[in-house]
Amino acid sequence: MQITSPEFKKNARSALSDTQLQKALGHVRTGFIDKRQASVDALPEFDELRDSARAIKDHTLAHLDLYLERYEEKVKSAGGYVHWAETAEDARSVILDICRAAGARTVTKGKSMITEEIGLNEFFEKEGVRPVETDLGEYIIQLRGEHPSHIIAPAVHLNKEQVEADFRRVHDHLRPNRDLSEPESLLAEARRVLRSEYFTADVGITGANFLVAETGSSVIVTNEGNGDLTQTLPRVHVVVASIEKVVPTLEDMSQILRVLARSATGQDMSVYTTVSTGPRRPGDPDGPDEYHVVLLDNGRSSMLGTEFQDMLRCIRCGACMNHCPIYHAVGGHAYGWVYPGPMGAVLTPSLAGIDKSGHLPNASTFCGRCEAVCPMKIPLPKMMRHWREREFARGLNPATQRYGLRAWALFASRPRLYHLAASFAIPALSFFTGRRPRFRYLPFAGGWTRHRDLPAPENRTFLQQWRSRQAAKQEAQA
Amino acid sequence: MSGREAILKKVRGALGAPLDDAARAKAVRQRLAKAPTGVVPARGRLPEEERIALFRQMAEKVSATVEHVKKTGDVPNAVAAYLRSKNLPASVRMGGDERLRAMPWGRVKALETKTGPADPDDEVGVSHALAGIAETGTVALYSGVENPTTVNFLPEHHIVVVDAKDIEGDLETTLSRLKKRFGKGKMPRTLNLITGPSRSGDIEQKLLLGAHGPRALHLIVVDDGRIGNKL
Ligand code: SF4
C-alpha cells in the first residue's frame, strides 16, 4: 500500500471537511467506548488480567527466539509447514509460490492486517490471482478499492447509503429494484454472494491472533464465521502472522483472550475462537489438505531491545483508536498507512521508517486515554514522544517548528525572561478573543482555528494564580 | 542465510542473547512444562448449580437460546420441536459422533438425519460439545473423524448438545480437559470455541446476527439428574 503518512496534515484537513466521514465517525465516538466500559465494569478482575497479559508478552518477547523455534517444531510435527519471511517481499513471494503450487486462481481471505501490511491483494492482482475478502467490512472496502480505516472495523468510515451504492454497482447480476435500504439486507446479500466464493477458492488465507508454542497452533478470533469457512473449505490453508504473535501455552492465550474482546468490542468473548493445528487428519471428513504458516518479521526484530519493544505486546484490539480524540476527528485513512490511531503513530515509524511517517508521532494531544485503555498497558504517549525526539534530532520536522521550539527554549531556560514575556503576552492575546474565552481566529494558528476554537489563556499566568492562591490559603490558616 | 536463520539471529542479537544460554532455555522449558494458570475470574469458579445457571445466563446474553432436557434420550424430540417452532424442514446434518448416534433418532417420525460434512444447502446442523464454559456461555467443539467442522459453520441453525456434567466454570478447566483427552502439547486439528450465533457490526456499527456462520445457536443441556426440576 502506498504510504501517505507524510501528508498527514493534508489528509486530516480533507477528512475534517468530509461530511460523510464525519457522520460515520460518530459511531466510533459513542458505540465502542460505552460497550467496552460496560464489559470492563462487569469483570472485577479486569485490571489484574491486564497485568497478567502484559507479563506473558514480556516474558515471551524476552525469549522470542526460543518460543519461535519451539512453535516451528510443533507445527511440523502436526504435519504443517513453516516459512520464515524477513520482509514483506519475501512473504509475498512465499505465498505466491504456495498458491501457484496449488494452481490457485481464486483465494479467499479472512480479515488480516498483516496481509494489508505486505500489500498482498495488489500483488495478487498483478500476478493474476483473484483475492476475495470475506469479512463483511473488508469485502465492502475491497469493492471500493480502499484500505481499512480501522484495525477491527475496516469500513467504519462508511455509511450504509455508500455501501448500498457499491453493492448495486458490483452485484449487477441481481434484481436492480431489490430493497437494500437497511444493513440487514446488505448483510444478507453479502452472505449470499460470498457463499459461492468459499467453495470456488483453492487457497484460504487467514491471519492469526495468537500462535501457541506449546501445541504449534494458530488461533483466529472472529465474529462473523468467515475466517472459519475460509480456512476449512479450500484445499490449502495459509496463515500469515508476524513473529510477535507467539505465546507460550494455551493457558497464556486464555489470559489474553479475556482482555482482547472486552477491549475491542465490549464482548466477553468473540463468537468464534478457533485453534487450528496442522492439516486434515487421516479420516477427517473436512478441513484443508495443506497447512502453511508464513512467519513475518518485517522490522519487528529491530524493535526488540529498543524503547519501542513494548509496542510488540500489541494485540490489535483497537481500543487506543476508539478512545483517541484525533482518530475521532480525522478517521483512519488520514494516518496514511495500514495502522491508524495511537498504535499506528508508534508502529508506522518503526515499520515503515520515520522519514516516511512524517507527522504521525505528532498526531496526538497527549491526553493519555490510549494508554489508560490499552489492555497490554503499552505506554503509547511515551513512545510517541520518543519518536518526536528522534524526528527532532534528525532535523525532520519543518523549519517553523524548529525555530519555534528554539525560541521557546530560549525563554524556558531563562525563568525571569519567561515570566516577563508571559505577563505581556496574555493581555496581548485577549485582543484577539474579545470577551469570549475562545479564539475563533489567531494569526499563525489557522491550522487549528479553521476547524475548532482555541481556548484562550486565563487572564493571569499559572504562576501568578498559584502565588495568589497560596497567599490566600496561608491567610486563611493564619 | 535462510530467512529462518536471519530472523533468529536478528532476534538474538537484539535481545543480547547468546545462542546456548542454558538459563533462558530452562526458563522456556519450565514454562511450557508447567503451563501456569493465570488469573481466573471468580465467576469462573462457582459451585455446580450456579455454574450451570451462569452458563445459561451468559449464553442467552449473546443471543443463543438454551433449553434443558432430562436425559440423552430426550434430545431427538427436543430437536424436532425446535425445527417445528422455526418452521424448518424436518432434516438435520450431523457427524457420526457416537454420543449423538446413541440417541433414539428413530423414535421421531419423519426426521431425516444426514451424516457427514455439511452441504451448502443444509439448514440445520447438530453437534455434541466437549464442554460448556460458564464464564462466557461458550461451547467447545473439536474436529475429528466423526466431527466435521463444516457442521458448525455452514447451516443457518446450529444445535449443540452439551451434558450438564461437562459444563466447566472457566476456559482453563476446559483446556485441561482437552489436554487430558489428547495428551499435553497435542491438539485436535480444530478446536472451536463458540459463543453465540455469528454476527457483524461492520455496517454503521449496527449489530446483526447471521453473518457468514449460523444465524441461530440453540443449546440443549442434558441434565441427567443434576439440576432436576430446579431450573
Ligand atoms: S496499542 Fe493497545 S489498545 Fe492499541 S490496538 Fe494495541 S493492544 Fe489495543
Q: Distance, in angstroms, between B42 CA and closest chain A CA? A: 8
B159 pLDDT exceeds 90? yes
Is the pLDDT at A478 greater than 70? The verdict is no
pLDDT exceeds cutoff 50 at B152: yes
Residue A9 lies in a domain: no
Domain annotation covers residue A51 = yes
| Average predicted confidence (pLDDT) for chain A | 89
Nearest-neighbour CA in chain A from B220: distance (Å): 18
Q: Give me the torsion for CA of A134, B63, A151, A378, rounded to 10°.
A: -150
Where in the sequence is the domain holding B17, given as residue range(s)?
1-36
**Has residue B144 got a pLDDT over 60?**
yes
User: Residue A282: its pLDDT value, please?
Assistant: 95
Chain A residues with CB under 8 Å of B27 CB are 59, 63
- Does residue A320 line the site of ligand 1, with CB under 6 A? yes
If pLDDT is split at 50, 70 and 90, which confidence band does A38 have? Answer: very high
User: Which pLDDT score is estimated for A394?
Assistant: 74
In this prediction, residue A470 carries a pLDDT of: 79
Q: CA A98 → CA A104, A205, A257, B5, distances in Å? A: 9, 11, 31, 21
Q: Would A345 be classed as within a structural domain?
A: no
pLDDT value for A407? 63
The Cα–Cα gap between B102 and B229 comes to 25
**A26 confidence band (pLDDT: 50, 70, 90):** confident
Q: Domain total for chain A? A: 2
Query: Min CA distance, A421 vs chain B (Å)?
Result: 47
Q: In terms of domains, do A290 and A427 share one? A: no
Which among A271, A275, A286 has the least Cβ separation from residue B194?
Answer: A271
Structurally, chain B folds into a number of domains equal to: 2
pLDDT of A471 above 90 = no
Domain-terminating residue out of A269, A298, A327: A298
Order of strands, sheet of A217-222, starting from the edge strand that comes earlier in the sequence:
A246-247, A210-212, A217-222, A272-276, B190-194, B138-142, B131-133, B167-168
**Per-residue pLDDT averaged across A6-12, rounded?**
89
Residue contact A271–B62, C-beta within 8 A: yes
| Same domain flag for B29 and B80 | no
* pLDDT of A388 higher than 90: no
Q: Could you tell me the CATH number of the domain that includes residue B157?
A: 3.40.50.10420
pLDDT at A454: 59
- Determine the residue type at A158: L
Q: What percent of chain A has pLDDT over 90?
A: 71
ipTM: 0.96
Q: Is residue B141 part of a domain?
A: yes
In the prediction, which pLDDT does A475 show? Answer: 75
- Ligand 1, atom 6, lies closest to the CA of A314
The tens digit of pLDDT for each residue in A246-279 reads 999 999 999 999 999 999 999 999 999 999 999 9
Whether B204 sits inside 8 A of A27 (CB atoms) is yes
pTM for this structure?
A: 0.89
Which of A295-299, A397-401, B100-104 is predicted least confidently?
A397-401
Asked whether residue A367 is assigned to any structural domain, the reply reads no
Ordered alpha helix ranges (H), A203-249: 226-232
Q: Which of B36, B58, B189 sits opposite A276 (nearest CB)?
A: B189
Tell if the CB–CB gap between A272 and B193 is shorter than 8 Å: yes
Long-range contacts of A369-373 (CB under 8 A, 24+ apart): A369/A323, A369/A324, A369/A325, A370/A319, A370/A320, A370/A321, A370/A323, A370/A324, A370/A341, A370/A342, A370/A343, A371/A320, A372/A323, A373/A36, A373/A263, A373/A319, A373/A320, A373/A322, A373/A323
Supply A478's cell numbers. Answer: 493564619
- Asked whether residue B19 carries a pLDDT value surpassing 50, the answer given is yes
Q: Which tens digit of pLDDT belongs to each residue from A298-331?
A: 999 999 999 999 999 999 999 999 999 999 999 9
Q: Based on the domain organization, do B169 and B198 belong to the same domain?
A: yes
Picking from A265, A298, A331, the residue at the C-terminal end of a domain is A298
- Kindly compute the dihedral angle of the four CA atoms of residues B95, B99, B100, B102, in this order, to the nearest 10 degrees: 120
Please, which residues bridge with residue A295 across strands? A84, A241
B148 and B205, same domain (yes or no): yes
* Collapsed DSSP state (helix, strand, coil) of residue B113: strand
Pairing of strands A272-276, A217-222: antiparallel
The residue nearest atom 4 of ligand 1, judged by CA position, is: A320
**B216 Cα to chain A: minimum distance (Å):** 12
Cell numbers at residue B191, please? 478446536
In this model, does residue A438 exceed pLDDT 70? no
- Over 50: is that where the pLDDT of B165 sits? yes
- Residues B99 and B130 both lie in one domain: yes
What is the pLDDT averaged over residues B138-145? 97
Q: Are residues B17 and B114 in the same domain?
A: no
Task: Examine the pLDDT at B178 and tell me if it is beyond 90.
Answer: yes
Of A84-93, B108-117, B150-159, the poorest mean pLDDT is in B108-117
Same domain as B62, residue B22? no
- Judged against a pLDDT cut of 60, whether residue A443 lies above it is answered with no
Residue A434 has pLDDT above 60, yes or no: no
What's the CA gap between B206 and B200, in Å, rounded?
8
Across chain B, mean pLDDT equals: 94
User: Is residue A401's pLDDT more than 70?
Assistant: no
**Ligand 1 closest atom vs CA A346:** 1
Distance (Å) from CA A368 to ligand 1 centroid: 13
The residues, ordered by sequence, that sit 6+ positions from A216 with a Cβ below 8 Å of its Cβ are A71, A72, A73, A74, A75, A76, A77, A78, A80, A277, A278, B187
Which domain CATH number covers A240?
3.40.50.10420
Among B10, B143, B153, select the one facing A225 at the smallest CB separation. B153
pLDDT at A336: 87
User: Which B residues 163-202 touch A at CB under 8 Å?
Assistant: 171-172, 175, 179, 184-202
- How high is the pLDDT of residue A361? 79
Are B93 and B121 part of one and the same domain? yes
Which stretch of A289-293, A452-456, A470-474 has the lowest confidence by average pLDDT? A452-456
pLDDT for the residue numbered B229: 45
Give the least confident one: A210-219, A406-415, B22-31, B52-61.
Answer: A406-415
Give residue B230's pLDDT.
47
The pLDDT, as a whole number, for residue A404 is 62
> What single-letter amino acid sits at A142?
Q
Provide mean pLDDT across the span B104-117: 93
Q: Looking at the structure, tell me whether residues B16 and B84 fall in a common domain.
A: no
Nearest-CA residue for atom 7 of ligand 1: A314
With a CB cutoff of 8 Å and minimum separation 6, the contacts of A120 are A91, A92, A95, A109, A131, A205, A240
| A250 and B113 Cβ atoms separated by less than 8 Å | no
- Neighbour-count burial for A323-335, b at 16+ CB within 10 Å, e otherwise: bbebbbbbbbbbb
A395 pLDDT above the threshold of 80? no
Tell me the best of A317, A326, A350, A370 to mutate to test the pocket of ligand 1, counting ligand atoms within 8 Å of each CB and taking the most. Answer: A317
Q: Which residues contact A214 (CB under 8 A, 6 or more apart)?
A: A70, A74, A248, A249, A250, B32, B35, B184, B185
Q: How far is the CA of A378 from the centre of ligand 1 (A)?
A: 7
pLDDT per residue as tens digits for the range B65-99: 999 999 999 999 999 999 999 999 999 999 999 99
Sorting pLDDT into bands at 50, 70 and 90, what band is A366?
A: confident
Tell which of A266, A298, A330 closes a domain. Answer: A298
pLDDT value at residue B231: 46
Say yes or no for a CB contact (<8 Å) between A214 and B214.
no
Answer yes or no: is A339 within a domain: no
Residues B24 and B107 in one domain: no
**Domain range spanning residue A472?**
413-477
Domain membership of residue B231 (yes or no) is: no
Atom of ligand 1 nearest to the CA of A315: 7
* Mean pLDDT along residues B192-214: 94
Residue B229 lies in a domain: no
For residues B107 and B143, membership in a common domain is answered with: yes
Is residue A217 domain-resident?
A: yes
Whether B41 is covered by a domain: the verdict is no
Looking at the structure, tell me whether residues B103 and B205 fall in a common domain. Answer: yes
B21 with B58, same domain: the answer is: no
- Name, in order, each residue with C-beta under 8 angstroms of B10's C-beta and a sequence gap of 6 or more: A297, A301, A302
In-domain check, residue A215: yes
Q: How far is Cα A409 from Cα A418, in angstroms, rounded to an integer? A: 10
* DSSP labels, A251-318: HHHHHHHHHHHHHHTS-SS-SEEEEE-SSPPTT-SSS-SEEEEEEE-TTSTTTTTSTTGGGGG-----
B123 touching chain A per CB within 8 A = no
- pLDDT over 70, % of chain A: 86
Q: Would you state the pLDDT for residue A365?
A: 82
* Paired strand residues for B68: B221
Q: Let me know if residue A309 belongs to a domain.
A: no
CA distance A380 to B109: 63
Both ends of chain B: CA-CA distance in Å? 65
Tell me, yes or no, whether B107 lies in a domain: yes
pLDDT of residue A410: 64
